[in-house]
Every structure is written in C-alpha cells, then in structure tokens.
C-alpha cells in the first residue's frame, strides 16, 4: 500500500523533555489507524507534528511524495489538505454552526459563500444537525459540537483526518453518536489517524493499531493481533488496564 502520510525518524522535545523519540509511522490511503498509549506518551504531540501544528526537531514527514517537514514548504497549503479534530471542540463561539463549517472553504479555499453553504448543509444533514445551522455552538451539547467540528474538518475534503481523543471530553451518553459518525467516515473510505482510549471502537473500526509508549512506537499490528496477542510486555501492561 502506498503511504499517504508517513513520519520517518521524528524527534520532538519540549525543553529538556524528549516527547517523540524517533517515531516511524505510516498511513495508507483509506486506512484507519488507531494510536493508543497512556496519557503523556506523546499521542497529541505526534498528531500535531503530523498536522504541521508543531515543528519537529529531527526526521521527516511526507504527505504523498511531498516532504512537508521541509521548511521551504508552504505550511498553510499543506494544512489545507488535512483535517483535524481535537478533544476540546474548538468551534469559534462567535460564529454560527454553518459559518464554522464554511469558514475554511470560504477563506482558505476561496469557495463562493453559496456553494460553501450548500456543501455545509449537506454535511450538517449527514451529522444530523442541519436544524442547528444558524445556531451558535453554545446552544449545542458537547456531542453535537464535536459532530460540527467533524463536519468542519471534512468540509474541505481533506486527504487525511487527524482525530485526537475526540470523545474524551464528552459525557458517556454522548460518546456513541460521535463514534458512529467516525465509523461512517471510515466506511466511506476516509483516511484516518486517531488517538483514542476507546479500545472497543479501535478494535472494531481500525485497520491497524499503533501503541506509543514514552515517545516510542513499541508495537503495531492488526487489532486482532495487538489486542489478542500483544508481543511486548509494555503493550500487555497497558492493555491490562482496560480489561481489569
Ligand atoms: P498524550 O497525548 O499521549 O497524552 P502529549 O503529546 O499531550 O501526550 O504529551 C506528551 C508530553 O509532552 C507530556 O509530558 C506533555 O506534558 C508534554 N507536552 C506536550 N505539549 C507540550 C508543550 N506545548 N510544552 C511543553 N510540554 C508539552
Ligand atoms: Mg493527548
């Protein structure tokens, strides 16, 4: 499978602290990869580095054939090809739901407002929130806001979706509706790298699981292999916390 997004030997420190220590990870087109690991293991940092939201200290990141870690690359153009959703919904509170969804299409991709809104309404329909298009985000539940954030992320048809624990700030009863949406995107062929603590979901939806521990990829494999027969002691210890 040809890699759509690939990190090669990525190192990242904050001050003295080495957070990523030579990470190699590959995401194939239409592949869904779940990134698991303890809090503080570097999952968010890796996603932020891959999304060019954080500079790396060493290594390379490729989007297709393009080395996007090359400082001569136009970061805004690269970021326009990616979609990201984070734990906290990060919707713009002063903009209506539909303006949140259309903003990047209008401003970055220079799509005319009417076309951007027509597309946004389709997406809001898809995430079950067309009736909320003219509301402000604070009128929506956390699960609804996160569904808007997903609609916003896919509005520009990104090549890759980077999802960082997008359900972990939600009340338990709201987690399912967001996971179902991600499941649908995966079924439609989206390319997704998602950091998650939802092990059952990862097992069900991901093509591959990558386990990160202290900034190092300790093990990766199919969900069946990694969850049922992890090879590494550190993987077994981590997974034991979820089955206790
Ligand atoms: P995870 O998402 O797996 O919980 P993170 O990537 O958020 O892990 O964090 C890994 C480590 O990097 C943590 O020790 C965290 O405190 C540190 N870290 C993350 N972002 C920053 C930052 N902007 N400045 C300083 N330290 C950071
Ligand atoms: Mg994190």
Does residue 89 surpass a pLDDT of 80?
no
- Is position 88 within any domain? no
Same domain, 72 and 174: yes
- Is position 23 within any domain? yes
Same domain, 74 and 109: no
Q: What is the pLDDT of residues 219-242, one digit of tens each?
A: 999 999 999 999 999 999 999 988
Same domain, 169 and 152: no
Phi, psi angle pair for 195, to nearest 5°: -80, 130
Mutation probe of ligand 1 site: the residue of 44, 49, 213, 215 with most atoms within 8 A of C-beta: 44
**Which DSSP string do the residues of 37-97 spell out, in sequence order?**
--TTSSHHHHHHHHTTSS--SEEEEEETTEETTSTTS-HHHHHTTEEEE-SS----TTS-H
The tally of domains found in the chain comes to 2
**Which of 104, 125, 158 finishes a domain?**
158
- Is position 220 within any domain? yes
Same domain, 74 and 173: yes
Report pLDDT for 228: 94
CA of 37, closest atom in ligand 1: 3
Q: Calculate mean pLDDT across residues 152-179.
A: 93
Contact 94, 75 (CB under 8 A): no
Ligand nearest to the CA of 13: 1
Q: Residues lining ligand 1, CB < 6 A?
A: 14, 19, 37, 39-45
Same domain, 100 and 199: no
Same domain, 170 and 238: yes
CA gap 139, 209 in Å, rounded: 36
**Which of 158, 181, 211 finishes a domain?**
158
Ligand nearest to the CA of 45: 1
CA of 212, closest atom in ligand 1: 3
Q: What is the pLDDT of residues 201-222, one digit of tens each?
A: 999 999 999 999 999 999 999 9
- Domain span holding position 52: 3-81+162-243
Query: Ligand 2: distance of its center to the CA of 84 in Å?
Result: 13
Query: What pairing do the DSSP bridges indicate for beta strands 160-164 and 192-195?
Result: parallel
Angle formed by the axes of helices 172-187 and 142-154, nearest 10°:
20
Q: What is the pLDDT of residues 53-88, one digit of tens each?
A: 999 999 999 999 999 999 999 999 999 999 999 988
């Amino acid at each position: 499978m040809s890699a759509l997004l690939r990190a090669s030997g990525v190192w990242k420190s904050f001050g003295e602290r080495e957070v990523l220590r030579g990470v190699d990870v590959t995401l194939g087109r239409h592949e869904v990869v779940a990134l698991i690991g303890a809090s503080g293991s570097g999952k968010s940092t890796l996603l932020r580095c891959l999304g060019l939201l954080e500079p790396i200290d060493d290594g390379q990141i490729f989007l297709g054939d393009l080395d996007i870690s090359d400082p001569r690359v136009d970061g805004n153009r690269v970021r326009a090809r990616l979609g990201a959703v984070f734990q906290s919904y990060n919707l713009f509170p002063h903009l209506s739901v539909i303006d949140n969804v259309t903003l990047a299409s209008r401003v970055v991709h220079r799509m005319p407002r009417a076309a951007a809104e027509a597309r946004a309404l389709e997406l809001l329909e898809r995430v079950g929130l067309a009736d909320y298009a003219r509301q402000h985000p604070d009128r929506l539940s956390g699960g609804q806001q996160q569904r808007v954030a997903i609609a916003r992320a896919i509005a520009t048809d990104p090549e890759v979706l980077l999802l960082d624990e997008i359900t972990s700030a939600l009340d338990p009863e709201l987690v399912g509706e967001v996971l179902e949406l991600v499941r649908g995107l995966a079924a439609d062929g989206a390319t997704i790298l998602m950091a998650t603590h939802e092990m059952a979901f990862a097992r069900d939806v991901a093509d591959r699981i990558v386990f990160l521990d202290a900034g190092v990829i300790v093990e990766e494999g199919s969900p069946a292999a990694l969850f049922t027969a992890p090879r590494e002691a550190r993987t077994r210890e981590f997974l034991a916390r979820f089955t206790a």
